[in-house]
Amino acid sequence: MNRTLKVVLIIAISFGIYDALQHYAFSDLATRVNAYIDNIGISYLIKCLVVGIPLFIGVGVIHNFKHFFETVGLAKSIWKVFLFSFICTLPMLVGYFIVFEVDVEITIASIFNGAIVAAFIEELFFRGILFGQLFRYTKIGFIPSIIFGAFIFASGHLYQSQEFSVLIGVFLTTFIGAILFAWVYVEWNYNLWASIFLHLFMNLYWLLFSVSSNALGNIYSNIFRIVTISLILGLTIYYKRKKGIKFEINKNTLLIKK
């Protein structure tokens, strides 16, 4: 079987099973895990990992159950991309500190779940597996590789509002975010920690300050978010050009890898 077709079929089946478990088994699993683990954060992480087992198996089948961490981008160096992510998200931290009030009711559990677990799980599932396996290990280009995953990722945030206009804003914001994180993941040499830390810091600052109840935010929050995105793009481009590293995403890899 053609390798591209094989990877597409395996990823499609894996995500189909994952989606079914997410919708029909997560609540029951949550009840069972909470009965044994009296820690909201740890139990939530375990539930996410259990539901993600079909995805892990899918990646294993693609690579003959070898080098899982390398094939999803978790075996890369951490500290350089940690510093890069912190610097890029500083405008959000400083801007939110100036404009918004600190959420005094925030808990350790909400930070752990909403920032750390959410960033790690979403980047692993949607960038490292759904997008990464398609773009990195097939001849499919960046645009077709990211569209489906970005659509699912954005759709998963539509619970945040009931207003149609807000829903459209939330969808577009998270859809663009999925594309940005995928681009960072690829251009930082398939280092998933780059997109994980960016996602983590952006979520963390959103939670620490009373910014908004949904991902769309308001004019002030989006000004600082746009500055952060500009830094992400600018510093990545500057770093690669200074080091003489070619860009992975270019005219020859947008639609079909030539």
Share of the chain above pLDDT 70, in %: 96
pLDDT value of residue 157: 64
pLDDT value of residue 33: 78
pLDDT value of residue 217: 80
**Regions of the chain where pLDDT drops below 70:** 1, 30, 156-161
Q: How far is it, in rounded angstroms, from Cα 174 to Cα 151?
A: 9
Q: How far is it, in rounded angstroms, from Cα 105 to Cα 238?
A: 40
